[in-house]
Structure 1
Amino acid sequence: MSITFRIATAADEEGSPTAVITARQLAAFRTFLRREGERIGTVLLDPDADKGAFLCYRFEARVCPLALASIARLFDYATDVIAVVEEAQFRGRRASVFRDEATGTINLTVAPTSDAGLELDLASGNAIALLESLGLGTESVGDTAVGTIRQRLASPAVRRRASEQGMTDYIERLERLVASAATDESCRLEWA
Protein backbone atom coordinates (compact mmCIF):
# COMPACT_ATOMS: atom_id res chain seq x y z
CA MET A 1 0.00 0.00 0.00
CA SER A 2 1.09 3.54 -0.61
CA ILE A 3 0.02 7.06 0.25
CA THR A 4 0.20 9.88 -2.28
CA PHE A 5 0.75 13.51 -1.27
CA ARG A 6 -0.50 16.17 -3.69
CA ILE A 7 -1.56 19.81 -3.82
CA ALA A 8 -5.30 20.42 -4.04
CA THR A 9 -7.05 23.71 -4.77
CA ALA A 10 -10.59 25.05 -4.61
CA ALA A 11 -10.89 24.33 -8.35
CA ASP A 12 -10.60 20.61 -7.57
CA GLU A 13 -13.90 20.80 -5.68
CA GLU A 14 -15.69 22.36 -8.66
CA GLY A 15 -15.02 19.51 -11.06
CA SER A 16 -13.20 19.62 -14.35
CA PRO A 17 -14.37 19.77 -17.95
CA THR A 18 -14.42 16.44 -19.79
CA ALA A 19 -14.26 15.74 -23.52
CA VAL A 20 -15.13 12.55 -25.36
CA ILE A 21 -12.57 11.65 -28.01
CA THR A 22 -12.34 8.95 -30.67
CA ALA A 23 -9.83 6.09 -30.88
CA ARG A 24 -8.35 7.72 -34.00
CA GLN A 25 -7.88 11.02 -32.13
CA LEU A 26 -6.35 9.13 -29.22
CA ALA A 27 -3.82 7.44 -31.51
CA ALA A 28 -2.94 10.78 -33.12
CA PHE A 29 -2.60 12.39 -29.68
CA ARG A 30 -0.22 9.67 -28.44
CA THR A 31 1.88 9.93 -31.63
CA PHE A 32 1.99 13.72 -31.29
CA LEU A 33 3.04 13.51 -27.62
CA ARG A 34 5.85 11.08 -28.41
CA ARG A 35 7.11 13.22 -31.31
CA GLU A 36 6.95 16.46 -29.33
CA GLY A 37 8.55 14.79 -26.32
CA GLU A 38 11.49 13.72 -28.47
CA ARG A 39 11.70 17.20 -29.99
CA ILE A 40 11.83 19.04 -26.65
CA GLY A 41 13.69 16.30 -24.79
CA THR A 42 11.11 15.40 -22.16
CA VAL A 43 8.64 12.61 -21.50
CA LEU A 44 5.08 13.76 -22.10
CA LEU A 45 3.25 10.42 -21.63
CA ASP A 46 2.89 8.67 -18.27
CA PRO A 47 2.92 5.73 -18.58
CA ASP A 48 3.93 5.32 -22.21
CA ALA A 49 2.83 1.88 -23.37
CA ASP A 50 4.95 0.02 -25.89
CA LYS A 51 4.53 1.59 -29.33
CA GLY A 52 3.56 -1.77 -30.81
CA ALA A 53 0.95 -2.49 -28.16
CA PHE A 54 -2.78 -1.93 -28.52
CA LEU A 55 -3.94 1.56 -27.62
CA CYS A 56 -3.60 2.34 -23.94
CA TYR A 57 -6.78 3.85 -22.57
CA ARG A 58 -5.45 5.06 -19.23
CA PHE A 59 -2.58 7.51 -19.08
CA GLU A 60 -1.69 11.09 -18.21
CA ALA A 61 -0.13 13.56 -20.62
CA ARG A 62 1.89 16.66 -19.96
CA VAL A 63 0.21 19.44 -21.93
CA CYS A 64 1.70 22.55 -20.29
CA PRO A 65 4.90 22.57 -22.42
CA LEU A 66 2.83 22.46 -25.62
CA ALA A 67 0.88 25.05 -27.59
CA LEU A 68 -2.89 24.81 -27.14
CA ALA A 69 -3.41 25.34 -30.88
CA SER A 70 -1.18 22.41 -31.83
CA ILE A 71 -3.14 20.08 -29.55
CA ALA A 72 -6.54 21.49 -30.61
CA ARG A 73 -5.69 20.82 -34.28
CA LEU A 74 -5.44 17.07 -33.50
CA PHE A 75 -9.03 17.13 -32.28
CA ASP A 76 -10.44 19.31 -35.10
CA TYR A 77 -10.59 22.29 -32.72
CA ALA A 78 -13.37 20.69 -30.67
CA THR A 79 -14.39 23.20 -28.00
CA ASP A 80 -14.71 20.57 -25.25
CA VAL A 81 -11.11 19.40 -25.86
CA ILE A 82 -9.90 23.00 -25.92
CA ALA A 83 -11.66 23.60 -22.58
CA VAL A 84 -9.91 20.58 -21.01
CA VAL A 85 -6.43 21.46 -22.30
CA GLU A 86 -6.83 25.15 -21.45
CA GLU A 87 -7.95 24.30 -17.90
CA ALA A 88 -5.06 21.85 -17.46
CA GLN A 89 -2.55 24.44 -18.66
CA PHE A 90 -4.06 27.18 -16.52
CA ARG A 91 -3.94 24.99 -13.40
CA GLY A 92 -0.51 23.53 -14.18
CA ARG A 93 -1.90 20.01 -14.36
CA ARG A 94 -1.65 17.08 -16.72
CA ALA A 95 -4.47 15.87 -18.94
CA SER A 96 -5.88 12.43 -18.16
CA VAL A 97 -7.18 9.96 -20.74
CA PHE A 98 -9.36 7.07 -19.59
CA ARG A 99 -11.97 4.73 -20.95
CA ASP A 100 -15.37 4.77 -19.26
CA GLU A 101 -16.27 1.09 -19.21
CA ALA A 102 -19.96 1.80 -18.57
CA THR A 103 -20.43 3.91 -21.70
CA GLY A 104 -17.45 2.71 -23.74
CA THR A 105 -16.28 6.27 -24.38
CA ILE A 106 -12.71 7.51 -24.31
CA ASN A 107 -12.54 10.60 -22.12
CA LEU A 108 -10.07 13.45 -21.72
CA THR A 109 -10.12 15.49 -18.52
CA VAL A 110 -7.85 17.46 -16.18
CA ALA A 111 -5.70 15.15 -14.03
CA PRO A 112 -5.06 15.68 -10.33
CA THR A 113 -1.33 15.34 -11.06
CA SER A 114 0.82 18.44 -11.44
CA ASP A 115 2.41 18.94 -14.84
CA ALA A 116 5.88 18.40 -13.43
CA GLY A 117 4.75 15.27 -11.55
CA LEU A 118 5.95 16.49 -8.16
CA GLU A 119 3.48 14.39 -6.17
CA LEU A 120 4.97 12.04 -3.59
CA ASP A 121 3.87 8.42 -3.75
CA LEU A 122 5.37 6.78 -0.67
CA ALA A 123 5.06 3.37 0.91
CA SER A 124 2.59 3.59 3.79
CA GLY A 125 5.26 3.19 6.48
CA ASN A 126 7.40 5.98 5.03
CA ALA A 127 4.37 8.23 4.55
CA ILE A 128 3.26 7.75 8.17
CA ALA A 129 6.81 8.48 9.36
CA LEU A 130 6.82 11.66 7.25
CA LEU A 131 3.48 12.74 8.70
CA GLU A 132 4.77 12.10 12.23
CA SER A 133 7.94 14.08 11.59
CA LEU A 134 5.73 16.99 10.47
CA GLY A 135 3.57 16.63 13.58
CA LEU A 136 0.48 15.73 11.52
CA GLY A 137 -0.45 12.47 13.24
CA THR A 138 -0.66 9.04 11.68
CA GLU A 139 -3.90 9.08 9.71
CA SER A 140 -3.41 7.66 6.21
CA VAL A 141 -5.96 10.09 4.72
CA GLY A 142 -6.07 13.80 5.42
CA ASP A 143 -5.28 17.32 4.39
CA THR A 144 -3.92 20.54 5.80
CA ALA A 145 -3.31 24.07 4.56
CA VAL A 146 -0.15 24.57 2.50
CA GLY A 147 0.74 27.50 4.78
CA THR A 148 0.85 25.11 7.74
CA ILE A 149 3.19 22.77 5.86
CA ARG A 150 5.46 25.67 4.89
CA GLN A 151 5.71 26.72 8.56
CA ARG A 152 6.51 23.18 9.66
CA LEU A 153 9.13 22.73 6.95
CA ALA A 154 10.82 25.93 8.12
CA SER A 155 11.05 24.63 11.71
CA PRO A 156 14.53 23.45 12.78
CA ALA A 157 12.90 20.94 15.15
CA VAL A 158 10.98 19.33 12.27
CA ARG A 159 14.16 19.22 10.17
CA ARG A 160 16.08 17.62 13.01
CA ARG A 161 13.35 15.03 13.67
CA ALA A 162 13.13 14.20 9.95
CA SER A 163 16.90 13.80 9.74
CA GLU A 164 16.92 11.47 12.76
CA GLN A 165 14.23 9.33 11.14
CA GLY A 166 15.97 9.23 7.74
CA MET A 167 13.27 11.37 6.13
CA THR A 168 15.50 14.13 4.71
CA ASP A 169 14.97 13.08 1.08
CA TYR A 170 11.19 13.00 1.57
CA ILE A 171 11.26 16.42 3.25
CA GLU A 172 13.16 17.85 0.27
CA ARG A 173 10.68 16.32 -2.17
CA LEU A 174 7.79 17.66 -0.09
CA GLU A 175 9.40 21.12 -0.20
CA ARG A 176 9.47 20.99 -4.02
CA LEU A 177 5.82 19.95 -4.06
CA VAL A 178 4.77 22.72 -1.67
CA ALA A 179 6.83 25.28 -3.63
CA SER A 180 4.67 24.50 -6.67
CA ALA A 181 1.51 25.55 -4.80
CA ALA A 182 0.00 28.99 -5.13
CA THR A 183 0.12 31.19 -2.06
CA ASP A 184 -3.64 31.64 -1.74
CA GLU A 185 -5.49 30.10 1.17
CA SER A 186 -7.41 27.60 -0.97
CA CYS A 187 -4.31 25.45 -1.54
CA ARG A 188 -3.87 22.47 0.72
CA LEU A 189 -1.72 19.38 0.94
CA GLU A 190 -3.81 16.21 0.65
CA TRP A 191 -2.72 12.67 1.28
CA ALA A 192 -4.49 9.37 0.70
Structure 2
Amino acid sequence: MKLTVPTILTLLRILLIPVLVLVFYLPFKWTNFAAAFIFALASITDWLDGWIARRYNQHSAFGAFLDPVADKLMVATALMLIVQKHPTVWMALWAAVIIGREIAVSALREWMAELGQRAKVKVATVGKVKTIVQMVALVCLLYQVPFIGLPIFTIGEWLLAAAALLTLWSGVAYLRAAWPTLKDERNL
Protein backbone atom coordinates (compact mmCIF):
# COMPACT_ATOMS: atom_id res chain seq x y z
CA MET A 1 0.00 0.00 0.00
CA LYS A 2 1.36 3.36 -1.05
CA LEU A 3 0.70 6.24 1.32
CA THR A 4 -0.64 9.28 -0.50
CA VAL A 5 -0.60 12.85 0.82
CA PRO A 6 -4.36 12.72 1.55
CA THR A 7 -3.94 9.49 3.51
CA ILE A 8 -1.04 10.98 5.47
CA LEU A 9 -3.25 13.99 6.34
CA THR A 10 -6.00 11.61 7.46
CA LEU A 11 -3.53 9.69 9.64
CA LEU A 12 -2.36 13.01 11.09
CA ARG A 13 -5.98 13.78 12.01
CA ILE A 14 -6.18 10.49 13.92
CA LEU A 15 -2.86 11.19 15.67
CA LEU A 16 -4.21 14.60 16.73
CA ILE A 17 -7.00 12.94 18.77
CA PRO A 18 -4.87 11.99 21.81
CA VAL A 19 -3.10 15.36 21.52
CA LEU A 20 -6.49 17.09 21.68
CA VAL A 21 -7.46 15.11 24.78
CA LEU A 22 -4.14 15.77 26.51
CA VAL A 23 -4.17 19.49 25.75
CA PHE A 24 -7.82 19.80 26.80
CA TYR A 25 -6.98 18.56 30.31
CA LEU A 26 -3.75 20.48 30.84
CA PRO A 27 -4.04 22.91 33.78
CA PHE A 28 -3.06 26.06 31.90
CA LYS A 29 -5.09 29.10 30.81
CA TRP A 30 -4.14 28.72 27.15
CA THR A 31 -5.42 25.15 26.75
CA ASN A 32 -8.83 26.24 25.45
CA PHE A 33 -7.11 28.13 22.63
CA ALA A 34 -4.77 25.20 21.93
CA ALA A 35 -7.63 22.65 21.93
CA ALA A 36 -9.67 24.83 19.57
CA PHE A 37 -6.61 25.27 17.33
CA ILE A 38 -5.95 21.50 17.22
CA PHE A 39 -9.56 20.79 16.32
CA ALA A 40 -9.56 23.55 13.68
CA LEU A 41 -6.34 22.14 12.22
CA ALA A 42 -7.91 18.68 12.06
CA SER A 43 -11.00 20.17 10.37
CA ILE A 44 -8.83 21.89 7.78
CA THR A 45 -6.94 18.66 7.05
CA ASP A 46 -10.31 16.98 6.49
CA TRP A 47 -11.11 19.46 3.74
CA LEU A 48 -7.52 19.52 2.43
CA ASP A 49 -7.13 15.75 2.07
CA GLY A 50 -10.30 15.56 -0.01
CA TRP A 51 -9.25 18.48 -2.17
CA ILE A 52 -5.78 17.02 -2.80
CA ALA A 53 -7.23 13.58 -3.56
CA ARG A 54 -9.62 15.04 -6.15
CA ARG A 55 -7.22 17.62 -7.61
CA TYR A 56 -4.23 15.30 -7.99
CA ASN A 57 -6.13 12.02 -8.40
CA GLN A 58 -4.61 10.54 -5.25
CA HIS A 59 -7.54 8.32 -4.32
CA SER A 60 -6.95 5.04 -2.51
CA ALA A 61 -9.21 2.39 -1.03
CA PHE A 62 -7.45 2.77 2.33
CA GLY A 63 -7.93 6.54 2.26
CA ALA A 64 -11.60 6.21 1.32
CA PHE A 65 -12.09 3.90 4.31
CA LEU A 66 -9.98 5.89 6.76
CA ASP A 67 -11.19 9.43 6.05
CA PRO A 68 -14.74 9.08 7.43
CA VAL A 69 -13.42 7.06 10.37
CA ALA A 70 -10.96 9.83 11.27
CA ASP A 71 -13.70 12.46 10.99
CA LYS A 72 -16.09 10.57 13.22
CA LEU A 73 -13.41 9.80 15.81
CA MET A 74 -12.33 13.44 16.03
CA VAL A 75 -15.89 14.77 16.25
CA ALA A 76 -16.98 12.17 18.82
CA THR A 77 -13.91 12.87 20.95
CA ALA A 78 -14.50 16.63 20.87
CA LEU A 79 -18.17 16.14 21.74
CA MET A 80 -17.30 13.88 24.70
CA LEU A 81 -14.80 16.41 26.02
CA ILE A 82 -17.29 19.26 25.70
CA VAL A 83 -20.15 17.34 27.33
CA GLN A 84 -17.86 16.26 30.15
CA LYS A 85 -16.87 19.88 30.82
CA HIS A 86 -20.38 21.29 30.29
CA PRO A 87 -22.78 18.50 31.34
CA THR A 88 -26.12 20.06 30.45
CA VAL A 89 -29.15 18.23 29.11
CA TRP A 90 -29.00 20.15 25.83
CA MET A 91 -25.30 19.61 25.28
CA ALA A 92 -25.68 15.87 25.94
CA LEU A 93 -28.74 15.68 23.69
CA TRP A 94 -27.04 17.43 20.76
CA ALA A 95 -23.96 15.23 21.18
CA ALA A 96 -26.09 12.06 21.30
CA VAL A 97 -27.98 13.09 18.15
CA ILE A 98 -24.77 13.79 16.25
CA ILE A 99 -22.92 10.66 17.37
CA GLY A 100 -26.02 8.46 16.97
CA ARG A 101 -26.63 9.70 13.44
CA GLU A 102 -22.99 9.11 12.49
CA ILE A 103 -23.20 5.51 13.68
CA ALA A 104 -26.56 4.94 11.96
CA VAL A 105 -25.49 6.47 8.64
CA SER A 106 -22.20 4.54 8.69
CA ALA A 107 -24.13 1.30 9.20
CA LEU A 108 -26.59 2.29 6.47
CA ARG A 109 -23.76 3.02 4.02
CA GLU A 110 -22.09 -0.29 4.85
CA TRP A 111 -25.34 -2.21 4.32
CA MET A 112 -26.09 -0.40 1.06
CA ALA A 113 -22.54 -1.06 -0.17
CA GLU A 114 -23.03 -4.75 0.59
CA LEU A 115 -26.11 -4.66 -1.63
CA GLY A 116 -24.26 -2.77 -4.39
CA GLN A 117 -26.37 0.33 -3.76
CA ARG A 118 -23.82 2.64 -2.09
CA ALA A 119 -24.44 5.44 -4.61
CA LYS A 120 -27.95 5.89 -3.19
CA VAL A 121 -26.48 7.14 0.11
CA LYS A 122 -23.66 9.34 -1.14
CA VAL A 123 -22.87 12.58 0.66
CA ALA A 124 -25.44 15.28 -0.09
CA THR A 125 -25.18 19.06 0.14
CA VAL A 126 -27.03 19.15 3.46
CA GLY A 127 -24.42 16.76 4.86
CA LYS A 128 -21.63 19.10 3.77
CA VAL A 129 -23.36 22.12 5.32
CA LYS A 130 -23.91 20.09 8.51
CA THR A 131 -20.21 19.29 8.65
CA ILE A 132 -19.18 22.95 8.32
CA VAL A 133 -21.66 24.12 10.98
CA GLN A 134 -20.61 21.27 13.27
CA MET A 135 -16.89 22.01 12.92
CA VAL A 136 -17.34 25.73 13.60
CA ALA A 137 -19.57 24.91 16.59
CA LEU A 138 -16.98 22.57 18.07
CA VAL A 139 -14.15 25.07 17.60
CA CYS A 140 -16.28 27.69 19.42
CA LEU A 141 -17.18 25.29 22.23
CA LEU A 142 -13.56 24.24 22.71
CA TYR A 143 -12.39 27.86 22.70
CA GLN A 144 -15.13 28.85 25.20
CA VAL A 145 -14.14 32.42 26.08
CA PRO A 146 -15.52 35.66 24.63
CA PHE A 147 -13.55 37.05 21.71
CA ILE A 148 -13.72 40.75 20.80
CA GLY A 149 -16.93 40.96 22.78
CA LEU A 150 -18.61 37.99 21.09
CA PRO A 151 -20.03 35.24 23.35
CA ILE A 152 -18.13 32.46 21.58
CA PHE A 153 -19.41 29.65 23.81
CA THR A 154 -23.05 30.70 23.36
CA ILE A 155 -22.52 30.96 19.61
CA GLY A 156 -21.05 27.45 19.73
CA GLU A 157 -24.08 26.15 21.64
CA TRP A 158 -26.48 27.55 19.04
CA LEU A 159 -24.37 26.28 16.17
CA LEU A 160 -24.21 22.82 17.77
CA ALA A 161 -28.01 22.81 18.04
CA ALA A 162 -28.21 23.80 14.37
CA ALA A 163 -25.69 21.09 13.48
CA ALA A 164 -27.75 18.50 15.37
CA LEU A 165 -30.89 19.54 13.49
CA LEU A 166 -29.02 19.42 10.18
CA THR A 167 -27.71 16.03 11.27
CA LEU A 168 -31.26 14.75 11.73
CA TRP A 169 -32.33 16.26 8.40
CA SER A 170 -29.46 14.67 6.50
CA GLY A 171 -29.93 11.36 8.33
CA VAL A 172 -33.60 11.28 7.29
CA ALA A 173 -32.60 12.16 3.72
CA TYR A 174 -30.16 9.22 3.62
CA LEU A 175 -32.78 6.89 5.09
CA ARG A 176 -35.40 8.03 2.56
CA ALA A 177 -32.94 7.45 -0.30
CA ALA A 178 -32.17 3.95 0.99
CA TRP A 179 -35.72 3.03 2.03
CA PRO A 180 -36.81 1.31 -1.20
CA THR A 181 -33.76 -0.96 -0.95
CA LEU A 182 -34.17 -1.51 2.80
CA LYS A 183 -37.82 -2.53 2.62
CA ASP A 184 -37.22 -5.00 -0.21
CA GLU A 185 -37.45 -8.44 1.41
CA ARG A 186 -35.15 -9.91 -1.25
CA ASN A 187 -32.25 -8.00 0.36
CA LEU A 188 -32.36 -10.02 3.58
Smaller-chain TM-score bracket? under 0.3
Name the structure with the higher strand share: 1
In the superposition, the TM-score normalised over structure 1's length comes to 0.28
Structure with larger Rg: 1
Name the structure with the higher helix share: 2
In the superposition, the TM-score normalised over structure 2's length comes to 0.28
